[in-house]
A and B are shown apart, each in its own frame.
Chain A
Amino acid sequence: MALGERVRHYVGVTFSVALSLLVGFGLSSIFILAIGSNPLTAYYTLLQGAFGSAQSISETLIKSIPLIFTGLAAAVAFKSNVNNIGEEGQLYMGAIATAVVALSVPVLPAFLFLPLLLCVSFLAGAFWAGIPAFLKIRFGADEMLTTLLMNWIPFYIVSYIVSGPFQEKDKIRPQTDFLPDVARLPAFVAGYRVHLGLVLAIVACVLVYVFLWKTSLGFEFRATGANLPAARGMGIKVNRRMMQAMILSGGIAALAGLSEVAGTVGALKLGSSNILGYGYAGILVALVTNLHPLGVILSGLFFGILIVGSESMQRGADVPIAMVYIIEAIMVMTIITSQLLMRKLGFKWLTGDNSQSS
């Protein structure tokens, strides 16, 4: 695109997004007003909570890391015509593998330990996604169903591990011991918690982008996703590609688990009844940005801001917990409306494939 067009394009994108967010604020205000709180205080608190201080920014980034990973995982899968909604389970498997290996293996120097954990967790997620992939190719089992059902199982595995064989030495809490320091993803700004996982996530996105657009294998993945019959007609081994995409997707989702256990938390703790786990949120992250690997970075950040910010409204603005869900939902709905708006106004969302399906 010529420079002028590019500028118009990005201005258009920004305008549409801003407009949609404004509409979202307006709609959410109705609910806030109805219970007698002040919407402006609420939004101010949201923004404060997300970027009001260096601490907040660090926390927002931390929240975004697993979202970027699972968003990337979903993007890879859906882009290749594979409906992987098992990122939640794959994430847990990555977390389990990280904790189990880090606590069982004799302490290694950091430059060996981290790559080891990276491999192990990736493999765990790839394996967990590989089962549905295999079932699909061999038996025609719908992968949406199998990946969904398989999400519940790792939760119980975690439950067993943290209250049984790997429970912490004190035997009090449903969590494992903390990982040895060399196994931890180091924080890169002293005093704040934001850690190497962020770099890994961004690097992963770039790698996937390069893979999908600059390699022939990646092209085949995209072709399989764009038009399955045509791809088959071109001689692409679509079944194999879909299986590979699924496995790759599972591995990437598992890295979200790695970053949580080895980075943010430092141990494997019992999960709970999360309304929107990182795995499911990742699907939203990917779709909001039309499955673009680089867009996932921005989208993950957006969700991080939204989640951290809206959660802090409870404290700063007298807003009840229910509003956290309502605002999150409304803001997601309005931000995808921005895509609609941009289409109507003639802009495209990102310079990626737009003829996408999944």
Chain B
Amino acid sequence: MVDWGQFAIVVVGAGIGIAAPLLIAALGEAFAERSGMMNLSIEGTMSLGAALAFIFGSITQNAWIGLLAGMLGGLVIGLMNVWMAQSLHLNQVVTGMSLYIFAYGLSVYLFRAITGHTSTFGLEVPRFRPIEIPALLHIPILGPTILNQNVLIYISIVLVLILEVVMFKTTFGLKIRAVGENPSAADNVGINVYTVRYICLMYGGAMAGLAGAYISLAELGLFFEGMTAGRGWIAIAIVIFGAWSPVRILAGALIFGVIDSLALHTMVVAPQVPFQLLLTLPYAFSIAILVIAMKRAALPAALFKTYRREERQLG
């Protein structure tokens, strides 16, 4: 019979791994959305980040440079997004979605141009392996399974705390929220709406690129076309679910990751359950939890409204 305790621990441990890229991408997207700009290019940016991270990681044989390359690629996409949506006043849903396709296409284009059609298995890339911290490892039960993660996960958790502080306790965070709620009012009190949004979207893009780099360098050590498999969209869902607050986003990412992991593990021990049903669990659950647990998330009022040419009023 199944040892439920062991089962739970294993599910959670794997769930953390599933949650990590979602968390990283969502943390970036949260800032973008809080400033009033919807960044729908995450899925493509993640793919681009994964490709660049793999390519540069294997060329330089240095995982951190790969990571940086992925972030840089993401930053550029974020920059393009905010330039088109903010400076050119184009519709941000369209700019986001077309950049999604563009970034995805670019990831395939670059990957094939540089590696040809051969498998990435010929290319060695340094990985982010789980770090063994002796003090943590010795914690009974939890040590070897859950507290045995790679450095990026630890960094992400620290990042959550840092960002929570930035968002809610710093002046910059205040500016972001002001710009998101009412750009004209913000401008009237001297906040530079453009600067705030540029920073937020470049950051969001960089984080999406980082999430992609995580998948290719930390999770799998390879690049495969389409490997992001919809995770960027789930990150967007998690941002809304987490009401744009980093700590709540962490919760959302973990919930999704653990349920996804639960579905897979259940599939293995209970094959009589129709697998399609189990695969829909994370989505159905997230909807249910949203409805039951979260109060009405307050969207930044200016989200989606950029193409109303708010900035005209800022003359």
Q: Which of A141, A156, A322 contacts B108 (CB 8 A)?
A: A322
Any chain A CB within 8 A of the CB of B198?
no
Any chain A CB within 8 A of the CB of B104?
yes
- Give the secondary structure class of A's interface: helix
Contact A283 B276 (CB under 8 A): no
Contact A284 B283 (CB under 8 A): no
Tally of A-B Cβ pairs under 8 angstroms = 132
Contact B295 A329 (CB under 8 A): no
Q: Which of A148, A157, A322 contacts B236 (CB 8 A)?
A: A148
Q: Which of A142, A275, A337 contacts B90 (CB 8 A)?
A: A337
- Chain B residues 263 to 300 lying within 8 A of chain A, measured CB to CB, are 274, 276-277, 279-280, 283-284, 286-287, 290-291, 294-297, 299
Any chain A CB within 8 A of the CB of B130?
no
What residues on A are CB-neighbors of B186 within 8 Å?
A: none
Contact A332 B98 (CB under 8 A): yes
What residues on B are CB-neighbors of A157 within 8 Å?
A: 276
Any chain A CB within 8 A of the CB of B138?
no
Q: Which of B94, B226, B233, B274 has the most CB of A within 10 A?
A: B94
Contact A326 B283 (CB under 8 A): no
Q: Which of B93, B112, B277 has the most CB of A within 10 A?
A: B93
Contact A276 B101 (CB under 8 A): yes
Any chain A CB within 8 A of the CB of B105?
yes
**B96 nearest CB across to chain A (Å):** 10
**A276 nearest CB across to chain B (Å):** 6
What residues on B are CB-neighbors of A145 within 8 Å?
A: 237, 240-241, 287, 290
What residues on A are CB-neighbors of B94 within 8 Å?
A: 284, 287-288, 332-333, 336
Q: Using a CB–CB distance below 8 Å, which chain B residues touch chain A?
A: 84, 88-91, 93-95, 97-102, 104-106, 108-109, 112-113, 226, 229-230, 233, 236-237, 240-241, 274, 276-277, 279-280, 283-284, 286-287, 290-291, 294-297, 299, 304-305, 308
Q: Which of A34, A156, A321, A329 contacts B276 (CB 8 A)?
A: A156
**A39 nearest CB across to chain B (Å):** 15
**Which size class do A's interface residues fall under?**
35 or more
Measured between alpha carbons, how far is A149 from B291 in the docked complex, in Å? Answer: 13
What residues on B are CB-neighbors of A284 within 8 Å?
A: 93-94, 97-98
Any chain B CB within 8 A of the CB of A234?
no
**A270 nearest CB across to chain B (Å):** 12
Contact B291 A329 (CB under 8 A): no
Any chain B CB within 8 A of the CB of A44?
no
Contact B97 A283 (CB under 8 A): yes
